[in-house]
Structures are given as structure tokens and as C-alpha cells.
Amino acid sequence: MRNESELTVFLEPSDTIDSDHDAIRRFAYTQTAGAKSPMEKAIALFYAVRDGIRYDPYAIDLSIEGLRASTTLATGRGWCVPKAVLLAAACRAAGIPARLGFADVRNHLSTARMREQMQTDVFFWHGYTSIYLHNAWLKATPAFNIELCEKFRLKPLEFDGKTDAIYHAFDLDGNRHMDYLGYRGEFPDVPIARIRETFQKKYTMMDPGTHADFDTDVALETANPNIS
């Protein structure tokens, strides 16, 4: 069991994990109403962020304000990192230690626009939330909302508060979905400078979705699966 002092930093607000923001506190309180344990609270918050905030990889903003939990809660959408930030902030607001984890993944779910602009199917610094429950850190990935999973025929990620919830290797049809290429570590806040440096080196454009609508592209491609 960890010393409580070691967990303090994962309970306090930070630049992007603004767990002391009134809106975050209200969100955490409302979503965990009736929950009787930290595990039940964490599970409730996972699903609230997974399905209540729409996944949008076109809305990449690597500023502190753009990554803040309160910003994502207000806009109702975000890519994997700000959704992980929001879950971490809600957990901290509920008294549950949480931090941010990152990995490089090969994502077999993308749009033609993303493939054209990024020139790769590797997503560097994919973000997830690491939640401290039962004296252990558990990975929870709240990125893909249920509607998106249904459209792309993905198996939704479920979090039971006992085991890691990370991407499935295959979709519902047995096609390759996600490969974890390597983990970059877990942090008390977003390592923005390191992420920005990697994105500038690896991607043709840092914001592949400028002036584009992800939901529209998803609807088009799922209606026409042969589009490329």
C-alpha cells in the first residue's frame, strides 16, 4: 500500500486537471450520486466521460486552456488526451487519486481526412487515465463514445474498477483495430512540451481537422465503407 503522502499530488488540481473548478466539482458530484465506494464512483465517472463527451480527433489544441478539463466539459467533445484529463479531474474532485498515462498506438480507426493529413496510422501520445483503486493503478480509456463504437463496429471499452480498460486488438468483425507500440509513462499532468515536440516531428499537420467536422466524416465513411 502506498503512503498517503505519495498520492497527494494525484489528488490536487494542476494546470490542465482543474479538479477544483466549480463545474468539475458539480459534474463529479452529480455523476457519482448514489455511489457507495471509490470504485463505484470511478466506474460512474468513466462512463459519464466516455459517452457524455464526444470523441473528436479534429479538435486538437495543445494549449493549457485547450486541454483543461473544464474546457472539455464545456464544449462536450475532445480527443483522447482531454477526455482522459477530464476523467482524471473528476476522479480527483471525487477524492480518488488519478493521473495521466500515454502510449503510442497504431489506430486502425481513422478517417480519410486524417490519413491524408497525418500520413501515418500511428497516434503518438495516446492518452488514458490511470486511476488508483484497491492499492493499484488501473488504466481507463474513455476516448471512444458508444455511438462511435457502434458506427465503426468496435467493441466498446468497459471499466469494472478492477482491471485495465485499454483498446481491444480486434473489432467485432475480427479486423485489426488497435496495436499498442509502446508506453511513454504516467504523469501528474499533461507533458505538453514533449507532446508538442513529437507532433511537430512526426505529423504533416498538427491539426488534421481544421475547418472539418469529425461527425460528418464518420457518417460519410460508415455509410460508404469503401471510401478512401
Q: What is the pLDDT of residue 228?
A: 41
Q: What is the pLDDT of residue 75?
A: 96
Question: How far apart are the C-alpha atoms of 129 and 120, rounded to whole Å?
Answer: 25
Is residue 85 within 8 Å of residue 17, measured between CB atoms? yes
Rg (CA), the chain: 17
Neighbours of 45 (CB within 10 A): 31
Interior/surface letters 121-135, b for 16+ CB within 10 angstroms, e for the rest: eebbbbbbbbbbbee
> Any residues with CB less than 8 A from the CB of 137 and at least 6 apart, and which?
99, 130, 131, 186
Q: What is the pLDDT of residue 120?
A: 82
- The parts of the chain modelled with pLDDT lower than 50 are 1, 208-210, 227-228
Q: What is the pTM of this model?
A: 0.90
Q: What is the pLDDT of residue 206?
A: 53
Give the domains, in start order, of the chain with CATH numbers.
Answer: 4-220 (3.10.620.30)
Is residue 198 within 8 Å of residue 125, measured between CB atoms? yes
C-alpha cell at 121: 496510422
Pairing of strands 122-133, 136-140: antiparallel
Q: What is the pLDDT of residue 70?
A: 98
Question: How far apart are the C-alpha atoms of 19 and 115, rounded to whole Å?
Answer: 35
Question: How far apart are the C-alpha atoms of 131 and 76, rounded to whole Å?
Answer: 22
H/E element holding 40?
A: helix 38-52
